[in-house]
């Protein structure tokens, strides 16, 4: 836990695999406690204080009540799943949370009209590129696709967009991205496409001319995963918390993210399950005045 960055990624990307589930290493503590008690070993009990202290230092603060201060806007990030059988119900659930911006991934040609029709009365401005979309209460401009397609993936693959939103606090760049999935294979943790796409997304963020940037997306990795470093290294310290979003039936990881540059994430929470295998996340953001 303390030196996870020292685990090499050269063989099977074991470092990234470890970092994807880093908080869960704390489960070793109660297991070791049982062993220590069964052996009636005072030495083992004392030694157990070390992993307890490391876990508490890394993640203990996340158990305390969160108070990031007031926020200006709320945004929602949600991978709605291309197998969602209730697009309209999903859209209505997101509206009920009252966000100003909504980013969706895995939009299909059959479901897109249902999302557009349901969201339109509350969110008059929207943009869609490929399978990702952005709905907004604020006017959108300069909408264009984000080129985050790794080499070797078909030309029809389009999972990124960039837009600017004209908010009461000024113009804000909004990026929506859905990075390629990762796979656990016999050869190890297969994140090559994801890592390459993260590099391209990082280049797009670096080239963004507007100071304030909001990134929303399914990045298929946690904030601890070094494969996302081209992105996370450019944003304000991303929030580490237990708002796990995937899989919806038993969330063990948060791979859905909202990150900012020149703005502040004040709070992160998950919303109730929809028809997707991901949970929506709602994030408060304080924009620079």
24 plus 121 within the same structural domain? no
CATH number at residue 124: 3.60.10.10
Q: What is the pLDDT of residue 105?
A: 98
38 plus 83 within the same structural domain? no
Interstrand relation of 213-218 and 188-190 (parallel, antiparallel or unpaired): unpaired
234 plus 160 within the same structural domain? yes
227 plus 196 within the same structural domain? yes
Query: Quick check: is 171 in a domain?
Result: yes
Query: Quick check: is 255 in a domain?
Result: yes
56 plus 83 within the same structural domain? no
Single residue among 63, 84, 105 that ends a domain in this structure: 63
Using CA atoms, how far apart are residues 242 and 188, in angstroms rounded to an integer? 26
55 plus 92 within the same structural domain? no
* Residue-range definition of the domain harbouring residue 189: 73-287
Q: What is the pLDDT of residue 64?
A: 65
Q: What is the pLDDT of residue 99?
A: 98
249 plus 109 within the same structural domain? yes
122 plus 260 within the same structural domain? yes
Structure token pair of residue 66: 């969160």
Q: What is the pLDDT of residue 185?
A: 74
Using CA atoms, how far apart are residues 158 and 129, in angstroms rounded to an integer? 7
Structure token pair of residue 224: 């601890």
The crossing angle, in degrees rounded to 10, of helices 28-39 and 49-59 is: 160
Query: Quick check: is 217 in a domain?
Result: yes
Q: What is the pLDDT of residue 51?
A: 87
Query: Quick check: is 68 in a domain?
Result: no
Q: What is the pLDDT of residue 63?
A: 66
Q: What is the pLDDT of residue 83?
A: 97
Using CA atoms, how far apart are residues 7 and 91, in angstroms rounded to an integer? 41
Query: Quick check: is 99 in a domain?
Result: yes
10 plus 84 within the same structural domain? no
Query: Quick check: is 20 in a domain?
Result: yes
49 plus 81 within the same structural domain? no
Q: What is the pLDDT of residue 238?
A: 65
CA distances in angstroms from 114 to 84, 88, 92, listed in the order given: 12, 6, 11
Residue 103: CB partners within 8 Å, gap ≥ 6? 75, 76, 77, 78, 132, 133, 134, 135, 174, 176, 216, 217
193 plus 214 within the same structural domain? yes
Single residue among 19, 34, 63 that ends a domain in this structure: 63
Residue among 29, 30, 4, 7 at smallest CA distance from 188? 7
Q: What is the pLDDT of residue 266?
A: 92
List of the chain residues with pLDDT < 50: none
Interstrand relation of 188-190 and 183-185 (parallel, antiparallel or unpaired): antiparallel
Single residue among 24, 41, 63 that ends a domain in this structure: 63
The domain total for the chain is 2
Q: What is the pLDDT of residue 183?
A: 84
25 plus 89 within the same structural domain? no
């Amino acid at each position: 836990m303390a030196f996870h960055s020292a685990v090499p990624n050269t063989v099977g990307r074991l470092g990234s695999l470890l970092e994807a589930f880093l908080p869960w290493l704390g489960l070793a503590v109660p297991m070791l406690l049982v062993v220590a008690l069964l052996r009636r070993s005072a030495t083992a009990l004392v030694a157990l204080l070390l992993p307890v202290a490391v876990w508490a230092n890394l993640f203990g603060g996340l158990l305390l009540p969160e108070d990031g201060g007031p926020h200006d806007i709320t945004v929602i990030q949600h991978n709605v799943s291309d197998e969602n059988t209730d697009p309209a119900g999903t859209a209505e659930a997101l509206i009920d949370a009252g966000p100003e911006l909504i980013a969706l991934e895995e939009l299909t040609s059959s479901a897109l009209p249902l999302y557009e029709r349901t969201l339109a009365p509350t969110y008059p401005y929207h943009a869609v590129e490929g399978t990702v979309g952005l709905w907004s209460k604020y006017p959108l401009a300069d909408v264009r696709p984000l080129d985050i397609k790794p080499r070797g993936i078909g030309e029809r693959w389009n999972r990124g967009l960039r837009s600017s939103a004209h908010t009461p606090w000024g113009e804000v760049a909004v990026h929506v991205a859905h990075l390629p999935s990762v796979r656990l294979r016999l050869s190890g943790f297969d994140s090559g496409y994801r890592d390459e796409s993260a590099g391209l997304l990082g280049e797009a963020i670096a080239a963004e001319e507007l100071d304030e940037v909001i990134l929303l997306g399914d990045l298929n990795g946690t904030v601890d995963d070094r494969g996302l470093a081209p992105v996370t290294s450019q944003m304000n310290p991303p929030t580490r918390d237990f708002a796990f979003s995937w899989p919806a039936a038993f969330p063990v990881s948060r791979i859905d993210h909202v990150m900012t540059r020149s703005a502040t994430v004040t709070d992160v929470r998950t919303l109730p399950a929809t028809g997707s295998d991901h949970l929506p996340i709602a994030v408060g953001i304080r924009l620079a005045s």
